[in-house]
Amino acid sequence: MDFPKCSDSSLLYSKLHGYYLDKFDQAGLENILEKQLAQGNTTVAVQTVNSEEYNILVKSIDNNKEIYHNLFSRFWTNYSDFNYTASLESNTITFTHP
């Protein structure tokens, strides 16, 4: 049995909880991460709309580590570095405090 494709993403957990990017924007990304960090989270995530935006996000992380270091060091105690895991299947990046 074939099911119809559903293009409605309005109920995605990441959209409902404010960590979804329709279009990559560095300032928007930093805002999403900062909101999660301000809540005391030691794991923060962002999901993008598609693999193209996801790849832009990954390049941003690799090319702008200093931006991310500065952001995380403001919120994580005893900060020295961050790790991230990438899930291309869900277009999600999850940052963790080691």
- What are the extents of the domains in the chain? 13-96
Nearest CA among 20, 96, 98, 29 for reference residue 60: 29
Task: Indicate the residue type of 87.
Answer: S
Each residue's pLDDT tens digit in the chain (98 positions)? 777 676 656 666 677 777 789 999 999 999 999 999 999 999 999 999 999 999 999 999 999 999 999 999 999 999 999 999 999 999 999 999 88
Tokens for 23?
């279009």
In whole angstroms, what is the distance from residue 24 CA to residue 49 CA?
9
- DSSP class of residue 83? E
In whole angstroms, what is the distance from residue 91 CA to residue 72 CA?
21
> Residue 84 in contact with residue 94, Cβ under 8 Å?
yes
